[in-house]
Structure 1
Amino acid sequence: MAIAGGGLLGRLLAWQLLEHGHQVSVYEAGSLVESPSAAKTAAGMISPISEAIDTELLMYDLGMVALQQWPKWLQQLLQAMPDQPVYYSHQGSVIVAHQRDQSLLHQYRQDIQRQLLECAQGHWLDGTTIAEMEPDLEAYFRQGLYFPDEAHIDNRHLLQVLLTRIQQLGGECIEHTPVDTDVFTIRERLSYTDQHFDSVIDCRGVGAKPQWRNIRGVRGEILRVKTDEVMLRRPVRLLHPRYQLYIVPKPNSEFVIGATQIESEDCSPMSVQSALELNSALYAINSAFAEARILEMDVNLRPALNHNRPNIQCQPGLLRINGLYRHGYLVAPVVVQHTLALLLDSITLKHDFSEILFDGGESGQLIEETQSAYAIDER
């Protein structure tokens, strides 16, 4: 089997297929070691409640599945690679706003109460509970919201561990090789040669745009800093009249700060205005960040479709998967499980989102017609 695209989806699928005993070749237009994918330029948040409020309720359902699946996958990786544990924290997230923006926090709470079940609405925080949960926020915020069913992962280390495991299992990794995809075929653009496989999976994100015209890029910008002066246990979202910003703690006293989304396909370096806004927000969360060292300012394009949902197009010999948008780590478990269910007879779906994920309104018929052509005999 061939997988075009070595980002999050491509690596997860390659790893799982190899674990099931199948031969896999992974093609990547850039480097696999220094991944150019949107999965690297990400904060690695798994935030079903926050994303459901900002986008649609479907994200809550997909995210709750992700919260169950990620620990299982990470445990599987840990058993195979005990010296390479991937940091994962399921301690929830905190939403805050400065005193002058308290109306935004109250409106956010009302939106949650209107849209989500009571069990998913989180907890209201006052100054005392903020101090108990996140002492380094105490002096800056008097009220907030706490969502216990949210998590975050060290996404960059995960990508490295997945690549190592793919190589350990004998996966063929072909980097710096841009390709196009067709049924049973990988077409190498530079050498003008075709490679033929039993099945091809296209996970190229924005790179698939020439063959999937509805894909658009959504600009994501992150600032990565390092400081020992501030400690946060969980992601913090700051509500602001013009934008939403998030800060996510990472191992080794590092933090990732980003803006939720920018509707632009511009992939040029970060502007002075964006850098000022991100740094100002960081300073506003805790002034001790003033002495933090900036490790990088990075920009990437997240692949999105018109409905901002992931989508799987399938025909015998070719699967195209795209549209993870800004929800990569939240929706990847569901997308991967549904893809594996098409390819492997041994996989059954506990949570079925086929009508949402598969292309068109006749997804059930499409699956039934193609499953026999896709299924790989594991006997």
Structure 2
Amino acid sequence: MPFSIVRDDISRVHADVLVNAANVRLAPGGGVCGALFSAAGFDEMRAACEAIGGCATGDAVATPAFNLPARWCVHAVGPIWRGGRAHEEELLHRCYRSAFARAVELGARSVAFPLISAGIYGFPVERALAIVREEVAAFLRHHDEVALTLVVFERAVVQMGNALVEQVQEYIDDEYVDSSSFMRRDMGELERELQWTEDASAPLSVEMAEPVAPPECLQEDDASIAAPRPFVASSIRMPGAAMPGAPSRAGATLDAEIAQLVATLDAPFSTTLLALIDARGMTDAEVYHRANISRQLFSKIRGNESYRPSKQTVVALAIALELDMSATQDLLARAGFTLSKSSKFDVIVRFFIERGIYDLFQLNEVLFAYDLPLVGSV
């Protein structure tokens, strides 16, 4: 199953397991911890945590979820940032591994978790996000049946944590400036062709001719005017069509041309994708893991030559295969899509491909920061 990012209050997210950013005493706290305790039922959750007694930094324990929209709550204790001198990164890695391991032990199929230690514990957001990417990728390689969701309260958290967001914004601005300049040039040429003047808004002055009476033979009350004949569609002959009763050679030629076009269609999306996978020397599992799509979806694509995926899925597969822009556009075209310069989603994808950045998690973080659909995640 894929990895996704959502903006929400984690205490309202539906999943088998909700992960709490806990402290070593498993005591009620603020932020994520306070929200989960409150939504679960404060007294019940506190009693369950007190019964466990505590949890070491980097470890995780489980309790019932009580009134939360989940089956279990896993309490994971992240490190307090101390300048990077106290093995904080190693402890945060271990914290996520412990939380995911508890979820697997419980038989969970979906896990929602916060950005642990990046709040009041002061862990640098950029590094915290990088650790999430690494641990999620490692976990899903062996547990692709589990869906993981990072829950953040504000998009700004991801914007702060991904250094590419600012570069992408500059790229978007440049592309839009180029596009708008092109449009202005086109409009300028059109104005010249139409010989518009600065006073184009002035009303036109038109001299109306004196009305001329129709000839006597065309007066309305002339009883000699024949009634109009009704329209008969069959009386219309299309250009190139044979005369009635004549052999339809033009029609036969048209049918032959259409048959020839159909017979020489490009290979469909599914066939092209599988050929690219073989050419890259990759396995199916490598591709769908890197594309952040489920094994079930990939099986549909493989098993149905006529399958038409979404644009986000095609982009995810192009990123997984590390295709250049030309090959990406070709793969998209076989599913009926393209990457343009008039869509923010398309421009962001182009930024990553043109720079050879084939990290789908980072791409999704940038898309999330712009409130755009994520790629893969299905």
**Fold shared, TM-score > 0.5 on shorter chain:** no
Structure showing the higher strand proportion among its residues: 1
Larger Rg: 2
Answer 1 or 2: higher relative contact order, Cα 8 Å, separation at least 6. Answer: 1
Structure showing the higher helix proportion among its residues: 2
TM-score by length of 1: 0.21
